[in-house]
A and B are shown apart, each in its own frame.
Chain A
Amino acid sequence: MGLRVLAVDDEADFIETLVKRFTYRQIPVTAAASGPEALARLDAEPFDVVILDMRMPGMDGLAVLREIKKRHPLVEVIILTGHASVEAGMQGMSLGAYDYVLKPVDFGELLEKAKKAHERKQLNEARSRQA
């Protein structure tokens, strides 16, 4: 099964370009401009990896992450932060995020991490099926 990505960021230009670049590489990607929208999308259709910005108006990244892990524990989350808080990144990791990346990010690196996250998800799924 191919990698399905949900990109969540309130920066429209950023998310738009991200969508274009994933699409260019034939990776299905959906954009969400806020936390609640992202959760709604996740409920509506399955995703493998969520690329989640930490700082967003309204519901912030950490809250979204908590919610995602509660509702869809198998979905992997890569935290994207433009903020000083490596601390926030670490906190995210402890909440179950797969990795965190500091903005501005090299697309290749992000793609690599997304692929690895997908692999882990598949592994976890296989394990949970066996159990």
Chain B
Amino acid sequence: MIQDELSKLRLKLIAITLAFSFIPLFSLGLGLYNRFYETYLDKVYESLSNLVENKKVTIDLYLSERVAQLSNLALTESYQDLSKEAYLEHIFGVLQMHSKSFLDLQVIDQNGICTAYVGPYQLKGIDYSREEWFHKVMARGIHVSDVFLGFRKYPHFNIAVSRREGDKTWVLRAAIDSDIFDSLVRSIHLGKTGDAFILASDHVLQTKPRFGHAMFDTLDFPNVPRFSGTRVESLAIEGQTSLYAMTWLNHKDWLLVVKDDPREEMLPIMRARWLLILLLAGGTLLIVGGAVWVAGGTVKALVRAEREKAALDASLTQSSKMAALGKLAAGVAHEVNNPLAIIMEKAGWMRDLLSEEDIKASPNFQEFEDAVSKIEFHVRRAKDVTHRLLGFARRMEPTQEDLDVNLLLDQTRSFLENEASFRGITFISDYQKDLPRIESDASQLQQVFLNIMDNAIDAIDKNGTITVATCHLPDTGEVDIAISDTGKGMTKEAQEKIFDPFFTTKKVGEGTGLGLTISYSIVEKLGGHIHVTSEEGKGTTFHITLPIAP
């Protein structure tokens, strides 16, 4: 019952401790982690976004410079001048002085025929009138093509500008080495698996990415409508989730993409997560251990307090019980003694009368004589009981003498040795040699020892040992006397009643059930304590503790 409640209390204590420790620990840990995660993610996105923005500016600047160069040229020079190849060559030379990326330069008339060409290929006379770009440049004035291999078998793109001169429109077109993009794009400082590339509107790669694809491959990229600024998204492309920072170029419908491996970017977060898990696990272990320890300690202290209280209660109950019983016994003894005295006297008187001559002659004389004897005998028996009761209840001042407990025990033992050896019982002495002498009442103590040893002999009946041990208890300044037998022992119920008056396990007429009651009151009166421990079938031990000085 109590064990159940205690283990429940223990669990409750552990649960409460855990709850109040874990809730703050986990909310703090997870809260901080989330905060850190968000902040870090923002930072990663922002840096990617900045990176792509910067590149965009660079590439746009490059493109706009090239377009501006060509436009300026077209606006400042006339078709007449430029269609002369020598002059064109001169102009091309000037252009190349500023930028090596110009591969060639050609002038195309309004019918789409190349009228002048400077560059490594023979393109003069080619008819572009059916090309789409030609129509676009004629209509819009500027056209920037996607990157392609073309006749040149070399990745490049064209910038074409048209000029209206009088009623004629002519086109100045330059091929530009697209390697420059590769270097521009790739110069982005990226992690191990990071990548950067330019995608045309039809998802054809315009630069060679570091991994996986070649130039002009069509990438399985989601359709991204044109937007301004930059955008960072986590996309799953070709079965691989990465972070993609994207921006549209201003001068061309090209999408600049910077790809980064989230795992690499998130490494510090992963580290933080592991650290958090480690800390939480460690904290959990500590808290669980602490909670169990604290709860265990609390419950242990409670159990100890409970036990002490129970022991105190038991001893208080016992002494108040004995005091009440003492009063009761004295009252009963007194009330019984008076009638007993009268019976005794009456019987005595009858005996007196029976001694007269004439009654002696009566035929029933013997019967009268016997009856009187029996009455006297049983009155004496009753008297024994009442006198013992009075002995238990009386409050005679015990005498104080300086005595050696070991010696007293030996003397007491000697009274019983005959009977003991007759029954095959041996006495074993386990005395502390330097036991301090005590101040007490020798004859009363002897009565107690005799009583307990006598009981021990009865408990053993035949063949066994009685061990008498003494020791000094320096903590309490007491002497402990333990008298153990190897007898039949007794039940818990019997142990509780053992000191009660008239409690006896002996046959009717053999014991009065007052011996231990009197022993108890004697020991208490001498300032000591007596208690019993017993196990059924194994034996019984009586402990008597006596103060060295009262």
Contact = CB atoms under 8 A, between A and B. Distances in A.
B95 interface: no
Interface stretch (B4-12, B116-124, B280-288, B329-337): B329-337
B349 A103 contact: no
Contacts of B330: 83-84
B430 interface: no
Interface string A75-119: 000000011111100100000000000111111000000000000
Contacts of A55: 334
Interface string B101-145: 000000000000000000000000000000000000000000000
Contacts of B383: 104
A86 B353 CA distance: 33
A87 B393 CA distance: 11
B352 interface: yes
Nearest to B327: A84
B313 interface: no
A17 interface: yes
A104 B340 contact: yes
Contacts of B352: 20-21, 24
A107 B340 CA distance: 13
Q: How large is the interface on B (under 10, 10 to 19, 20 to 34, 35 or more residues)?
A: 20 to 34
A105 B344 contact: yes
B334 A82 contact: yes
B32 interface: no
A87 B395 contact: yes
A103 B345 CA distance: 11
Interface string B353-390: 10000000000000000000000000100010001001
A107 B390 contact: no
B341 to A, nearest CB: 4
A13 interface: yes
Contacts of B329: 84
Contacts of A14: 338, 341-342, 345
B28 interface: no
Given A21-B352, A55-B334, A82 B394 contact: no
A11 B346 contact: no
A87 B16 CA distance: 63
Contacts of A86: 390, 394, 396
Contacts of B379: 104
Contacts of A106: 344
Nearest to A54: B334
B348 A17 contact: yes
Contacts of A107: 344-345, 348
Nearest to B350: A17
B343 interface: yes
A18 B345 CA distance: 7
A25 B184 CA distance: 153
B337 A82 contact: yes
A87 B396 contact: yes
Given A21-B348, A104-B383, A84 B341 contact: no
Nearest to B396: A86
A84 B220 CA distance: 116
A105 B345 CA distance: 8
| Residue from A18, A24, A103, A107 with most neighbouring chain B CB atoms (10 Å) | A103
Contact of B394 (A21, A84, A104): A84
A105 B341 contact: yes
Given A20-B349, A84-B394, A86-B396, A104 B334 contact: no
B444 to A, nearest CB: 13
Nearest to B355: A24
Interface string B408-450: 0000000000000000000000000000000000000000000
A102 B344 CA distance: 13
Contacts of A17: 342, 345-346, 348-349
Given A87-B395, A104-B343, 4 more contacts: A82-B333, A103-B337, A104-B342, A105-B344
